[in-house]
Chain A
Amino acid sequence: MLKQSGYGIVIVIGLVLAALTVVELFMAINHVGAGLLMLVAALKAILVIYFFMHVSRLWTAEGEH
């Protein structure tokens, strides 16, 4: 499973988050509206909440140690 593959997926998600941060900056330079910027921020937050904060462990037995 993707989430269990260890260090590799952490780096991939990190790179995606970095890329989205750069996208945000370019969107701001091009005066894109606040709504779209907050949408990209929400996408970044979802990635962190799902892959780093293990939100799915709330309703599954995954990661029970």
Chain B
Amino acid sequence: MAAVTTTAQAAAIHHDTHAGHDNYAAQLRMNRLGLWLFFISEAFLFGGLLSVRFFLWGADTRPELDQTIGLIVTSVLLISSISMRLAETAMERGNRRMFSIFILLTALFGTIFLGGVMVFEWGLFPSIYQGHLTPWDNKYGAVVFAMTGMHALHVISGIVFILIVWNLARKGSFSAERHWGVESCAIYWHYVDVVWIFFYPALYLIGNAVHIAAH
């Protein structure tokens, strides 16, 4: 009798575990779909900004921005995307130490990108670098600040997201089998990178540079 009960209990546990896995898999699919729907809604925002750039500047003008700074901040964001993917791969393999190293590197690269934009494009610290654009003087400054400002807002939220995920991982909230938090954070960061992939040529490369006098 006891043996029969034990077998029945084992079958029930197996059934519950299987059902739990199915529920998690279904929830994961819905989470992914929800995140991508959010990205589509965000694409309208960034697409709108890109349209404004081409409407106001046309395809043959752009402000005179520092090409070296543009290439450096773009490279830093690209490297941050690679380190984020490496962090996710480390978590998939259960390597927590490498995960922590790569995700913190991603946050560091994101901060460097943000600093580069704030110091060299916005000219927030004139003692370090004297910027020549302001958001209110002309169409060039207005569009540069609107595009980089909205993007920077997403970089800041991405860095906060990264630090939250890193802290949760440190407390053991994720495993190699279950780490939606890590995956969503990584996908969000890559999305921020995808936006910059389009913003970089739109701001720095397309059209002939128009010199704007510093005020």
Pair from one complex: yes
Interface residues of A (CB under 8 A from B): 6-7, 10-11, 13-14, 17-18, 21, 24-25, 27-28, 31, 33-34, 37-38, 40-42, 44-45, 48-49, 51-55, 57-58, 61, 63-65
Q: Is the CB of A49 within 8 A of B194?
A: yes
| Residue of B78, B85, B202, B204 contacting most chain A CB atoms (<10 Å) | B85
Q: Is B25 an interface residue (CB 8 A)?
A: yes
15 pairs, A vs B, C-beta closer than 8 Å: A10-B86, A11-B82, A14-B79, A21-B74, A21-B75, A28-B205, A34-B201, A42-B198, A45-B198, A49-B190, A52-B85, A52-B187, A55-B36, A64-B29, A65-B28
Determine the chain B residues whose CB is within 8 A of the CB of A11 once the complex forms. 82
In the bound complex, what is the Cα–Cα distance between A52 and B207 (angstroms)?
30
Partner pick for A48 among B32, B59, B197, B202, CB 8 A cutoff: B197
Q: Is the CB of A48 within 8 A of B207?
A: no
Q: Chain B, 83-105, contact with A by CB distance < 8 Å: what is the 0/1 string?
A: 01110010011000000000000
Known contacts A37-B201, A44-B197: A52-B190 contact under CB 8 Å: yes
Beyond A21-B74, A34-B201, A65-B183: 15 further Cβ-contacts under 8 Å?
A10-B85, A10-B86, A14-B79, A14-B81, A28-B206, A38-B202, A42-B198, A48-B190, A52-B81, A52-B190, A54-B187, A57-B32, A58-B33, A65-B28, A65-B92
| Residue of A11, A21, A63 contacting most chain B CB atoms (<10 Å) | A21
In the bound complex, what is the Cα–Cα distance between A62 and B33 (angstroms)?
14
Q: Is the CB of A7 within 8 A of B86?
A: yes
Partner pick for A53 among B177, B187, B206, CB 8 A cutoff: B187
In the bound complex, what is the Cα–Cα distance between A27 and B201 (angstroms)?
10
Determine the chain A residues whose CB is within 8 A of the CB of B67 once the complex forms. 25
On chain B, the number of residues with a Cβ less than 8 Å from chain A's Cβ atoms is 44
Known contacts A18-B78, A25-B71: A34-B206 contact under CB 8 Å: yes
Q: Is B121 an interface residue (CB 8 A)?
A: no
Q: Chain B, 19-52, contact with A by CB distance < 8 Å: what is the 0/1 string?
A: 0000001001100110010000000000000000
Give the residue name and chain of the A residue nearest to B179 (CB): A65
Give the residue name and chain of the B residue nearest to A43 (CB): B197
